[in-house]
Structure 1
Amino acid sequence: MLTTKNLPGSPIWLDLGSPDLPATVAFYTELFGWSHHTMEGADYGSFQQDGKTVAAVGKLTEEGAGPAWIVYFRSTDAHAGAKAVEQAGGAVRMVPQEIGPDGWIAQFSDPAGAQFAIWQPVGGSGLELVTEPGSLCWAELYTPSAEDARAFYRSVFDWSFEDMAMGGMNYTVVTPPGGGADDSMAGIVPMPGVPPHWLPYFEVRDCDAAVAKAQALGGAVALAAESVEGVGRFATLTDPHGVRFAVMTSSG
């Protein structure tokens, strides 16, 4: 279960690069009931749920890049992390940069092309709410080869993995180093033919209602809602700019 303990290697931040900030902010605030707070003098701001930061959004600035949610994993050393990514066959999209008093960030692509980032926090605390309605509850990697992905991310983050059968396929559950049975925070899905990407899941009180609302706001359904016993009901959606994300009503 995703928590705010911010263990090294676990999700600590989440942001979205948008080609149209007002439209993006309007969609997500209406869908999840978030409030939006812009940083002074910047095309970047946070989304909050009940006064707690749950995500961020900024103007898309990277030339040739498409809009997408980017998951940031906690790092204890951003420069060493960048070196580990390169040595494991990944690509550095943004070299480690200091972000004021909050630490260091860097952005990468894994060997299959899935984009992700790291944040080495100093003064920043990261996401303030997870697993509750309106916040990040899970992350999932879609990749051509789960075996190759495991080798790469183990080398970079020292993650541990556990396989489980789900819907006729082998699903890999990810736990950060030092985490216990309750600290799993992501999954790996072997999906040849689909562009490799990390998919954020947001907890909602009613999955089907969230799907209907997203469609009414101009979003679309990428994968229809389904239920998995002991897990919950979830669906994959796209926002009006085609950005993929998922909503989930967890069991229990």
Structure 2
Amino acid sequence: MKQNVKVISTIIVLTIILMACNSAITFPPVSQTPTNSHNQGQFVWHDLATYDPLAAKDFYSEVFDWEFETLGTGSNVYYVVKNKGIPIGGMFKLADKYGKAAEWIASISVPDVDAAISYNTSGGGKTIFKKAAFDGRGETALVQDPQGAFVAFLHSESGDPQPQRAGNIKMNSWLWNELWTNDLDASLGFYRGLTSSETEEVKAAKVPYFMFKQDNNTFSGAIGNPVEGARSAWMPYIKVKDVNATFEKAKAAGAHVMMEPTQSIRKGTVAVLMDPTGAQFTIQQWILR
């Protein structure tokens, strides 16, 4: 993808202090049905940290028909993102001192948040927001991994959702998470150690591409960073029915184009975009095989 990506990302420093201070909020669990089981290495939640959540709400509502529930009041507000009534993520406002910044932060399931923080620190990573307990959600911490990608560690209060095959995931929901890293070998080793996952190379890929697997489940992927000069980052994918139609709708709603659908990349089924506040995401049309 290197030759197709046109926008260079900027380094974004994030905080979740706003959320932690709001002790009155009961956050939605990551699974609609309590499972009391945890799938180490599975991405189980997504939060958008943005300088302008109102603009972001308008955009995602227009493009994906997402709905929003407001929790909290005044300056302490958390917006629950819903797809067809089912919570799939959240959104909150960054402090003004961080300027016009935005990023989707994915939460990865870990059995012990403290142990995950220690592992990240020992590998050269940074703790951005230390462990805290969120009512209804569980224990979580925001870190920057040793290669510079932001990720949240999460041990959910009521268990993780059951893994789903791509074909069973609802339209306009999270399909995939992909690490764009400036050091592929180092990232593969780091996340293998963090999650006890195995990695499997996709032999048919045009560039080195690996998937993280746990038992019989495939949870995420990793690729060398296609954005020249950018830091490493986790890229969230949203499943759509028609990539071209969604791409045009997103552009009309104010999205910035990083990569338009092209037949040379996954047969034209993906497009990489930034929402109007600057948060990156990928849309993918899933073709049943």
Tell me whether the two structures share a fold, i.e. TM-score over 0.5: yes
Task: Return the offset for 1:24.
Answer: 0.7
Counterpart Cα distance in 2 of 1:223 and 1:59: 27
- Which residue of the partner structure matches residue 58 of structure 1? 92
Shift in CA distance, 232/131, structure 1 to aligned 2, threshold 3 Å: farther
Pairing partner for 2:235 from 161, 185, 199: 199
Q: By percentage of residues, which structure has more strand?
A: 1
SS in 2 for 1:184: strand
- Which residue of the partner structure matches residue 199 of structure 2? 161
SS in 2 for 1:214: helix
Per-residue CA distance 1:177-209 (angstroms, 9 max, x = gap): xx30xx212111112633211100000110011
- Which residue of the partner structure matches residue 139 of structure 1? 177
TM-score for the superposition, normalised by structure 2? 0.78
- Which residue of the partner structure matches residue 25 of structure 1? 57
Q: Structure 2: where are the runs of 5+ without partners? A: 1-30
Per-residue CA distance 1:155-178 (angstroms, 9 max, x = gap): 2222210012455211111123xx
Give RMSD over aligned pairs: 2.5
Counterpart Cα distance in 2 of 1:40 and 1:230: 42
Counterpart Cα distance in 1 of 2:192 and 2:71: 35
Superposed, 1:75-224 pairs within 5 Å as 75-123=110-158, 131-176=169-214, 179-180=215-216, 183-191=217-225, 193-224=229-260
SS in 2 for 1:226: coil
Task: Return the offset for 1:83.
Answer: 1.0
Q: What letter corresponds to residue 132 of structure 1 in structure 2?
A: K
- Name which of structure 1's ranges 160-169 and 114-123 shifts more when overlaid on structure 2: 160-169
**Bigger RCO of structures 1 and 2 (CA < 8 A, at least 6 apart):** 2
Whether contact under 8 Å (1:235, 1:248) holds in the other structure is yes
Counterpart Cα distance in 1 of 2:159 and 2:196: 23
Q: What letter corresponds to residue 237 of structure 2 in structure 1?
A: Y
Q: In the alignment, does 2:283 pair up with 1:251?
A: no
Whether contact under 8 Å (2:198, 2:212) holds in the other structure is yes
SS in 1 for 2:218: coil
Counterpart Cα distance in 2 of 1:135 and 1:13: 11
SS in 1 for 2:56: helix
Whether contact under 8 Å (1:133, 1:204) holds in the other structure is yes
| Percentage of pairs with the same residue | 24
The count of corresponding residues between Structure 1 and Structure 2 is: 245
SS in 2 for 1:225: coil
Shift in CA distance, 171/62, structure 1 to aligned 2, threshold 3 Å: farther
Per-residue CA distance 1:29-85 (angstroms, 9 max, x = gap): 111011111113332121111111122111113853731000100121111111111
Per-residue CA distance 1:203-232 (angstroms, 9 max, x = gap): 011001111001000112101213579887
Counterpart Cα distance in 2 of 1:62 and 1:11: 29
Q: In the alignment, does 2:79 pair up with 1:45?
A: yes
Q: Structure 1: where are the runs of 5+ without partners? A: none
Q: What letter corresponds to residue 188 of structure 2 in structure 1?
A: R
SS in 2 for 1:211: helix
Task: Return the offset for 1:100.
Answer: 2.0
Counterpart Cα distance in 1 of 2:273 and 2:137: 32
Shift in CA distance, 185/160, structure 1 to aligned 2, threshold 3 Å: same
Whether contact under 8 Å (1:36, 1:47) holds in the other structure is yes
TM-score for the superposition, normalised by structure 1? 0.88
Shift in CA distance, 155/125, structure 1 to aligned 2, threshold 3 Å: closer
Q: What letter corresponds to residue 139 of structure 1 in structure 2?
A: N
Q: What letter corresponds to residue 116 of structure 2 in structure 1?
A: G
Counterpart Cα distance in 1 of 2:103 and 2:183: 22
SS in 1 for 2:261: strand
Whether contact under 8 Å (1:222, 1:238) holds in the other structure is yes
Task: Return the offset for 1:131.
Answer: 2.6
